[in-house]
Each structure stands twice: as structure tokens, then as C-alpha cells.
Amino acid sequence: MVLRSNYTDLIRLYMDKPFIKVITGVHRCGKSHVLQWVSRELRVRGVDYQNILYRDFEVHGKESLADGKELAAVLKQQMAERPGRRYLLLDEIQYLPGWERCVKELYEREDCDIYLAGSKAALLEGKDAGLILRNCVQIRMYPYSFSEFLEQEREEEPGLSRDACFERFFRLGSMPGIRLFHHEEEAVHQYLLDVCKAAMLQDAVRENNLRGIGQLWMMLGYLAETLGQPVSAKTISDGMNRTGRQISKDTVYGMLKALESGHIIYRAKRYDLKEGRAVEAREKYYFSDWGIYHALHGIEEHGTQGVLENMVCMELLARGFRVYRGKIGRREFDFWAERGKEQYCIQVRKNLEDVEEAKEAASVLASVKRQCRKLFLLKEGEAPAGQKGRQKEIVYRNILDFLENA
């Protein structure tokens, strides 16, 4: 089992600190395994197992409890029987009505350290979220990075080459659970579709008052068709209407919000470097796992560019960057990424075979005058010779090197 050290190291920093730890991420990305790691880590630190109270509200618990008030009563009774500090690990708690007031009461009145996990961004966006926000730290989880995927694959095949592993990563995606299907693409893709359906039924449909997953499913299909292309609610509505799938702009907007809330997709806003701000206009949408794209759309050569962008976007997010599509004047580039004082402008390409397009892509990066790192990431090929002027600032790098090494 891969130790998700990016997340576990961060959680260690907050253990026994006066914050509610909130772990969010798409269904099946590994949140429950991290909570289980928390339990093991507490035992290593000498905590009595009876003082570690774990409840999974997706699997059990919500059936026997009406709301957060009942949960608070049950947990208080259990804690009264356990002297000393108690540790509450509550998985998918958003399914229990009124959970926020329960957690707030326990945090303020009991000697306990609280860890929550949920698959909805709205875990901290509901009407009572303010009860938690003032006293929490959020840890956003993603599916496997390439380095984590490589580690997992080499546990089972020690001699596996990096290139062979990347081919699997590209075709199958990055969800931890796909290892159970022994690289059978059809089985993996069905699993990913089932994960999407579960996320949409449990989160997107119920929490956003949508009628069913039919239109959401069509929306995902359209986003797969346009992966890596800038879109808006209007262009999506117009595009779907042209194919006979009648849907209003307002409905599209609501569904995009629902899919984003469930962490199924990520929205990359456009960042205008001249204005120095993000603009909500013709954004790009990427999947939390590009395996979902392949499951919806099939594995085709013309989709490579969008999938490579998707990989880079998710890797940057997992490293803690804010990620945007970049704009300077009337020209655009794939990504503008910020993390503290670090700033990157990035182009992503399969190769440089289209010489004129590659020159234009490099020219856009060269035109950026801000102090930032300029990366041109390639799946194949090397940096062109004879770079001049500001183009010398551009670092050409193999995308596998970028993904493997932070």
C-alpha cells in the first residue's frame, strides 16, 4: 500500500492541534485509507484504541441515526466511558443531517481531536458550514500522482520501466482502486463510471436538487468531447442543443457547479496577466481522473493533448498550486500556476512536430515579462536548437520527469 506522504505529513503537523481536520476529495481517492492511517498513527503514539472512535456514514451509521443531535448524544455517552483525550474519525459525515452543529458542540465542549472526511466540496459550503470554518484546516486529496502510481506498480512488478508505467497511467487513470482489476481496461473503465454514478447520485443530484443523473451524464460526455478546450455555460448549452439534447444555460451552470462540488471535475478559470486577476469567462474543465475521460470517450490519438493537460493540471493541484488557464493580451497559454511566491507559466504538448504551432506556443511564453518559471512540457522530443532572446528563459522538460519529480 502506498503511503500518501503528501497528506499524512500534513496531518501529522495538525495532530492534537486545536483545529478540526477536514479531508475532502472525489469518491474513492483514498480518504478512508488516510483516516485508517490516522488511527494507526495514534496507536503508535500510545493512544488507547478505545479512545479512537471511528464511524463511516457511507457504509453504516446514517441508517440508525436521525441527525447530528442523535450522533452527539451517542458520542458523548461513548466518550464518558473513556477517560482522557478522545479522537473522533468521522468518514463521509456530510450524509448525516445537522452534522455541523454536532461537530461544533463536541469540539467546544469535549476533550477531543476531530478528523472529518467527505467527498463533497460543499462539506464546507453548506448553510451551517460557518460553524466549522472558523476552527478547521482543510486537506484536499486527489487520486494518485504519477510518482505514487509508479510506486504502487513497482510494488507488484519491481522491474517495471517508467515508460511502461506511464502508458498504464495514461490509459487507466490514477484512482487507487484500479489496481484491483489487474490492468484490464474494460473493467477499470466500468469501475470509474460506477464511481462517477455513485458520486452523482449521492452528492450532485441530491444536494443540488437535480432530477436525476441523465442530464449530468450527458454533460460529462460533452466535457469529455471538449477536454482541454475553453467553454462556458452558454457554449455548452448551444453545443448540446445542436445535437438534439435540449438544455438551458442556467441548467448547465447548475450541473457544472454540482459536478465541481462533487470533485468530479475541476474548473480552471482564465488568469489575465495584464489585469492581474482571474476571470470567470470561457474556463477549461478537467476530470479529477482522466481515466473517466477514457471511460466516457474511448482512448483515441486526437485526445492525447487534452489528457496530457489534465495530468499536468491534477499534478499541480496535488502539489498545492492554484491553477488557471493563462492569458496575456489576446494570446493564451495552457496554465498559470501559483503557490506562495512561486509562479509558473506552462505549455503542454505531445511533441514539436507541428513546427509553426510549437514556435507560436513558445512565443507566448517568451512574451510573459513577469518573474516566473516558463516550462514547456513534452511527452516526446527535445528542446529546439537556436533559441534566442527571451526564449532562452523557457525550460523544455519531459513530462514524465515533471510528473515524477516535484
Summarize pLDDT for 105-164 with one digit per residue, the tens: 999 999 999 999 998 765 777 667 777 888 999 999 999 999 999 999 999 999 999 999
- pLDDT at 310 (0 to 100): 98
- pLDDT at 303 (0 to 100): 79
What's CA 380's distance to the chain center, in Å?
A: 26
Q: What is the pTM of this model?
A: 0.93
3-class state of residue 212 by DSSP: coil
Strands across the sheet with 342-349, in order? 277-287, 265-272, 322-328, 331-339, 342-349, 373-378, 394-398
10-residue mean pLDDT series, the chain (406 residues): 92 97 94 96 97 88 77 94 95 89 94 92 70 90 97 95 97 96 95 88 62 80 94 93 86 88 93 92 94 92 90 97 96 97 97 94 95 96 81 94 89
What's CA 285's distance to the chain center, in Å?
A: 12
Give the strand pairing for 52-56 and 20-24. Answer: unpaired
- CATH, domain range 5-140: 3.40.50.300
- pLDDT at 130 (0 to 100): 78
Q: Which helix (H) or strand (E) holds 69?
A: helix 68-80
Place of cell 490514477: 174
The C-alpha atoms of residue 150 and residue 404 are separated, in whole angstroms, by 8
Domain residue ranges of the chain, discontinuous segments joined by +:
5-140, 146-404
- pLDDT at 124 (0 to 100): 75
Place of cell 476531530: 114
Residue 245 backbone dihedrals phi, psi, to 5 degrees: -100, 90
- pLDDT at 11 (0 to 100): 97
- pLDDT at 207 (0 to 100): 58
The C-alpha atoms of residue 292 and residue 264 are separated, in whole angstroms, by 9
CA distances from 359 to 11, 306, 326, 383, 391 (A): 44, 19, 17, 11, 10
